[in-house]
Amino acid sequence: MKLTYFAIVIALSTQLYAGGSLSFEDHVYEEMSLQQIVGLGMAVVDENQILYSNTFGLEDKERGVIADRSDTLFRLGTMTHMVTATLALKAYEEGLISLDKNIQEYWRGYKLPKKYYRISLEREKETGELIEFHRLVPLNTGHSISMAQLLTHTSGLKGHPLDEDDYTPGLANLPFFNRGMKWGIRKWLKAPLTSLPGTKAHVTKIGYNLAGIILEKATNARYMDLVKKWINIPTGITSFTPDTYWKRYKNQRRSVWYTLNKKSQIIEAKDRDLSWALASEGLLGTINDMAKFCKAQLQSRYVSKALRNKYQWSPQRLNDDTPNMNSFGQILNLAESGVDPDIYAGSDMTGAKNILKIDPNKKRCYIIMSNTQHHKVRTTKLLELLERATPINGKNKLKFVPNI
């Protein structure tokens, strides 16, 4: 029974090859079979409309529930960074928060760690090779962290501990203990900084959680109330909701998460609460609503075009004026043609291997969301398929364009 879904896809692909050319959907199902993906959402958006939004495969393999573009809730994962960054810019636009001030002005109880890792290049005694050394030293007074540094991964806060179970707070799946974002990162805020604030880019989920806490302090509003007011209502989004473990049966269509076992068989992944990491990776949403969010980004519906371009679509700067390709909520990749960078967001975590790309030159956004995460899932390959397809106006269909 477990192989039935993929066997059907392989059989379909074989028949289509025998009969002639493949449609875009056929190519997607073929890739899903090769990559062993259970459920998938894909969308293409321009600044005027959602050109394509569709789901493939299953939301729940065991019960045979087909994924639905309007109802199936995928994990946004670290694409949640885009939402948090947008909220921060909106709060800045409303005059509620400064991007550059010490965050302690909004949360008096926050204290910087007492130590940090000083990085130096030294020659190895035997070989003479230059090696980067990290030495734990006291953090002197006079340093501070800003909201801008939290949003561009330059705060120096710890990022990804090697042991994921250690990173997730104990008892997070129990509502009696799980008290949200502040509770979730309380012990990591005391960990030594990986570098001095503003001197190096170091991806940190903890930093985005702290940004969510600062937003709540500065605006005197709960994070999800800000999402509702500034994100959902203006653009008709209805599905963005916390990824709360104990509400998994109450959420109407929360997807089941999948991975591979040691025999390369699809199995259900271990579920865990992510509402404690709400501002970092803790949102759920449908592919349709993620398309609406991206369309609003292209239209500058949430914040002014000037703010969007300056903070979300342009490289930021370290203290020494070195370019930092981590913009507010996204990662920039300089395009080979032209000066405008391509803009990316994505996630690779239990139950979610996603990618989002904004092409400023074409004014298009491409989104891929899945409920499957393992080493065979290659979202870049699916993104390539999506970019090669041509939208058919008004029909929610894509025409596949083969390589010439």
Give the model confidence (pLDDT) of 201-230 as tens digits: 988 889 999 999 999 999 999 999 999 999
Predicted confidence at residue 336, as pLDDT, reads: 45
| Relative orientation angle of helices 287-299 and 80-93, to the nearest 10 degrees | 40
Whether the per-residue pLDDT at 257 is higher than 90: the answer is yes
More confidently predicted of 175 and 37: 37
Q: Rounded to whole angstroms, how far apart are CA atoms 198 and 192?
A: 15
Residue type, 358: I
Q: Which of 149, 245, 273 is nearest to 204 (CA)?
A: 149
Q: Rounded to whole angstroms, how far apart are CA atoms 391 and 51?
A: 6
Give the model confidence (pLDDT) of 99-139 as tens digits: 999 999 999 999 999 999 988 877 777 787 888 778 899 99
Contact, 373 vs 350, CB < 8 A? yes
Q: Rounded to whole angstroms, how far apart are CA atoms 342 and 333?
A: 5
Claim: this prediction has a pTM higher than 0.75: yes
Inside any domain, residue 60? yes
Inside any domain, residue 11? yes
Inside any domain, residue 241? yes
Domains: count for the chain? 1
Q: Rounded to whole angstroms, how far apart are CA atoms 78 and 345?
A: 7
Inside any domain, residue 333? yes
Predicted confidence at residue 311, as pLDDT, reads: 96
Predicted confidence at residue 268, as pLDDT, reads: 94
Residue 264 belongs to domain with CATH number: 3.40.710.10
Give the model confidence (pLDDT) of 297-343 as tens digits: 999 999 999 999 999 999 999 999 999 999 999 988 755 444 568 89
Contact, 368 vs 379, CB < 8 A? yes
Contact, 341 vs 322, CB < 8 A? no
Q: Specify the DSSP class assigned to residue 198.
A: T
Mean pLDDT over all residues of the chain? 88
Inside any domain, residue 404? no
Query: Among residues of the chain, what percentage have pLDDT more than 90?
Result: 67
Inside any domain, residue 128? yes
| Domain with 110 in it | 4-399
